[in-house]
Amino acid sequence: MIIGGSASQKLAAKIAKELKTTLIPIETRKFPDGERYIRIKGQLEDKAIVVQSTGYPQDENLIELFLILKNLKSMGIKKIKVVIPYFGYGRQERRFKSGEAVSATIISQLLEFAGADKVFCVNLHENNITDFFKIPAYDLSAMPPIADYIQKTLENPVIIAPDKGALGFAKEIAEILNCGYDYLEKTRISPEVVETKPKSLDIKGKEAVIIDDIISTGGTIVNAVKILKEHGASKVLVSCVHPVLVEDALLKIFAAGVDDVVATDTLQSEVSVISVASIIAEALKKD
Ligand code: R5P
């Protein structure tokens, strides 16, 4: 049986369909003072798959997930696989300055405490986060469905990573599509400001596809779009796994002259047109 938290309702339904399994109804709401209420309805089986992204509002979605997991365990469910398509708090996976909380470790420990027996995530911000769990934890790649979308949409793409950290994604897609790829040099000045160095790129007249794991404020992508347009790309498509999209991020990206923005459904958004349901369903079937 599959239980979808309020942040991942449609994706949970799609995974249930792929696995031909029951989607259990769940009631989630807030008390007038803001506290979370959850109630699991329907006929329960002895194993469960819970799907819940922990993006904005991270704390509420996490609390909801913890309530679901502890509740299932107290109702006698023996094995729980937890799918966290977008893993919130994944950016602080080490102590950069003394005294900082290593949030990703703490969240991993809390998930185990709440009753997770296995965890499945998609493109964790840092893949060493799987090592923080004592239970089996998997970091799935959304690049195959993104590559599939690009193949169906463009004829002659070249894949561009907006920074070195995203180079692995560009390479993975380029290998699937058998096309060229490159990356840009980005320096982060602050959480809101990034600088991207100009560099020589062979993209004149080509369809450029930017790929990143997360679009947050959109600053990284806006810089990349401007550089690709200056280099004469005939088209610029932006793709990402997790459309965090803070405030007017999408508007800023379109205003930079991009042709389209697409993302996966690890987070529900107006650009979540590529589904990760099949890669998650495959991983759940195997393990
Ligand atoms: C950085 O490490 C990530 O891969 C993304 O490039 C970053 O999160 C994007 O942030 P923003 O949209 O705020 O530039």
Mutate to test the pocket of ligand 1, among 87, 214, 258 (most ligand atoms within 8 A of CB): 214
What local confidence, expressed as pLDDT, does residue 287 receive? 83
The whole-number average pLDDT for the span 5-9 is: 96
Tell the CATH topology of 143-265. Answer: Rossmann fold (3.40.50)
The pLDDT tens digits for 170-196 are: 999 999 999 999 999 999 998 888 999
Give residue-wise pLDDT tens across range 245-286. 999 999 999 999 999 999 999 999 999 999 999 999 999 999
Q: What is the pLDDT of residue 102?
A: 96
- Residue 286's contacts (CB-CB under 8 Å, 6 or more residues apart) are none
Task: Write the CATH number of the domain with boundaries 2-141+276-286.
Answer: 3.40.50.2020
For ligand 1, whether the C-beta of 217 sits within 6 Å is: yes
Amino acid 186: pLDDT: 92
Is the model more confident about 202 or about 106?
106
Residue 231 pLDDT more than 90? yes
If you measure from the C-alpha of residue 133 to the centroid of ligand 1, how many angstroms do you get, rounded to a whole number?
Answer: 25
Question: Which contiguous run of DSSP H or E holds residue 27?
Answer: strand 26-30
Residue 266, amino acid: T
Please name every residue paired with 40 in a beta bridge, in sequence order, or none if there are none: 26
DSSP secondary structure letter of residue 259:
S
Q: Is the preceding omega at residue 57 within 30 degrees of 0, hence cis?
A: yes
pLDDT digits (tens, 9 = 90+) for 94-150: 999 999 999 999 999 999 999 999 999 999 999 899 999 999 999 999 999 999 999
Q: How many angstroms is it from 5 CA to the middle of ligand 1?
A: 26
CB within 8 Å of 180: residues ≥ 6 apart? 158, 159, 174, 202
Q: How confident is the model at residue 68 (pLDDT cuts 50, 70, 90)?
A: very high
User: In this structure, which residue's CA is closest to atom 2 in ligand 1?
Assistant: 165
Ranges of each domain in the chain: 2-141+276-286, 143-265
Instruction: Answer yes or no: is pLDDT of 198 > 80.
Output: no
pLDDT of residue 70: 97
Q: Which of 50, 49, 51, 46 is nearest to 78 (CA)?
A: 46
- pTM here is 0.95
Report d(CA 217, CA 162) in Å as an integer: 14
- Contact 165 CB / ligand 1 (< 6 Å): yes
Fold match between domain 2-141+276-286 and domain 143-265: yes
Q: How far is the CA of 216 from the centre of ligand 1 (A)?
A: 6
Dihedral sign, CA of 92, 124, 272, 185?
positive
Q: Is 220 in the pocket of ligand 1 (CB under 6 A)?
A: yes
Tens-digit pLDDT profile for residues 140-167:
999 999 999 999 999 999 999 999 999 9
Tell me: pLDDT of 201 over 90. Answer: no
* pLDDT reported for residue 44: 86
pLDDT per residue over 18-49, tens digit each? 999 999 989 999 999 999 999 999 888 899 99
Tokens describing residue 143: 């690049």
Q: Is 275 helix (H, G, I), strand (E, B) or coil?
A: coil
